[in-house]
């Protein structure tokens, strides 16, 4: 087994390697004077089981091209199998046509990865489950619900979960929020919203009882933070005692950090699928590591064991 990483999240890759007890492979990412990316794999991968760790986060196009070039380099160097470990799958929100002449970009990216030489994919909480069907190779999707649930039980709950509810910030996230509510033994609340245009949300109604409750938002990503901040404001107006947010992928684009820092959230818990630079951190933010989870997934794949227990 050999692990390599691009420039997207080298710390996560190093943490995964540490969990597995092996060193990261020797690969170098450089750029030509015109901005073209150059990848150099400095050790043999012939006959090896290769894992390329690279979330396709911002700058998405640059990190995606790095991954494609690494794939091509390892394929041409006769790697036995190449698994793309993509903690955050960029373009995942473009998973269907919402109008005429619109692309399905998530499918296009899947085709590109397969054409470049990917044998299988390991990811964390894809934005839509149907993305797994866009690939003609095996795809394993891990869930951080257990990691978040353990954190909440150990650091937030004082006397059980009777005074807590799990909140889905939109109707589309109900299934994931319900699974998390079941983990905590809590009730489910839904914030019904209307999106007037991209990244602009108008909260419509809160479905469920939040009076005097700790409200725990659960979503797969936090992008601009607009949905969660508006939802938190609506919950507080309806009598919620406290609000906190759990978001797997900290995209935190635009003024998201400032917006969340000034919001009603007492805590915003995210994972490190995407690196959060110091300038985007704020007092309420806490980052949990998915390195042990991904390391377990990599080991299962390498040893030919089932990944289903990790998926659950």
- Domain residue spans of the chain: 2-143+292-311, 145-288
Residue 298 has pLDDT above 80, yes or no: yes
Please give the Cα distance from 56 to 64 (Å, whole number): 5
Residue 100's CB is within 10 A of a number of other CB atoms, namely 5
Give me the chain's average pLDDT, please.
93
Q: Which residues pair with 10 in a beta bridge?
A: none
How far lies 191's CA from each of 73, 176, 178, 217, in Å? Answer: 46, 14, 13, 10
State pLDDT tens for residues 119-139: 999 999 999 999 999 999 999
CATH number of 145-288: 3.40.50.2020
Confidence bin at 160 (pLDDT 50/70/90)? low
| Domain 2-143+292-311 and domain 145-288 have a common topology | yes
Confidence bin at 194 (pLDDT 50/70/90)? low
Return the exposure string of 235-259: e unless at least 16 CB atoms fall within 10 Å of the residue's CB, then b: bbebebebbbbbbbbbbbeeebbeb
Domain range 2-143+292-311, CATH architecture: 3-Layer(aba) Sandwich (3.40)
Residue 254 has pLDDT above 70, yes or no: yes
DSSP H helical ranges for the chain: 10-20, 60-76, 105-116, 145-155, 174-184, 226-237, 256-261, 291-303, 308-311
Catalytic annotation, residues = 193
Contact between 189 and 210 under an 8 Å Cβ cutoff? The reply is yes
State pLDDT tens for residues 263-295: 999 999 999 999 999 999 999 999 999 999 999
Q: Which residues pair with 49 in a beta bridge?
A: 81
Least-confidence region, from 44-53, 81-90, 175-184: 175-184
| Nearest alpha carbon to residue 165 among 114, 218, 96 | 218
Please give the Cα distance from 21 to 108 (Å, whole number): 35
Confidence bin at 296 (pLDDT 50/70/90)? very high
Strands 200-207 and 187-197, bridge-based pairing: antiparallel
Answer yes or no: pTM beyond 0.95: no
């Amino acid at each position: 087994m050999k692990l390599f990483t691009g420039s997207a999240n080298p710390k996560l890759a190093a943490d995964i390697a540490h969990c597995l007890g092996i060193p990261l492979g020797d690969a170098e990412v450089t750029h030509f004077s015109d901005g073209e990316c150059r990848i150099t794999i400095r050790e043999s991968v012939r006959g090896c089981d290769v894992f390329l760790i690279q979330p396709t986060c911002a700058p998405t196009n640059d990190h995606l091209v790095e991954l494609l070039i690494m794939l091509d380099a390892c394929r041409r160097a006769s790697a036995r199998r190449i698994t793309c470990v993509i903690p955050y799958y960029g373009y995942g929100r473009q998973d269907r046509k919402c109008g005429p002449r619109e692309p399905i970009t998530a499918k296009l990216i899947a085709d590109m990865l397969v054409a470049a030489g990917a044998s299988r994919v390991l990811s964390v909480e894809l934005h839509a489950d149907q993305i797994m069907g866009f690939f003609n190779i095996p795809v394993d999707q891990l869930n951080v619900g257990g990691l978040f649930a353990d954190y909440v039980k150990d650091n937030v709950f004082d006397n059980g979960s009777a005074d807590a509810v799990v909140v889905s910030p939109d109707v589309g996230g109900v299934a994931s929020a319900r699974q998390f509510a079941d983990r905590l033994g809590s009730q489910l609340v839904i914030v019904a919203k209307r999106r007037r245009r991209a990244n602009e949300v108008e909260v419509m109604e809160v479905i469920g009882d939040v009076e005097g409750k700790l409200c725990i938002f659960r979503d797969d990503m936090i992008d601009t933070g607009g949905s969660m901040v508006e939802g938190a404001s609506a919950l507080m107006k309806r009598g919620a005692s406290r609000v906190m947010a759990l978001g797997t992928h900290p995209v935190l684009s635009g003024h998201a950090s400032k917006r969340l820092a000034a919001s009603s959230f007492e805590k915003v818990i995210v994972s490190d699928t995407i690196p959060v630079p110091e300038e985007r951190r704020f007092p309420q933010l806490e980052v949990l590591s998915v390195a042990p989870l991904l390391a377990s997934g990599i080991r299962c794949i390498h040893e030919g064991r089932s990944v289903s227990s990790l998926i659950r």
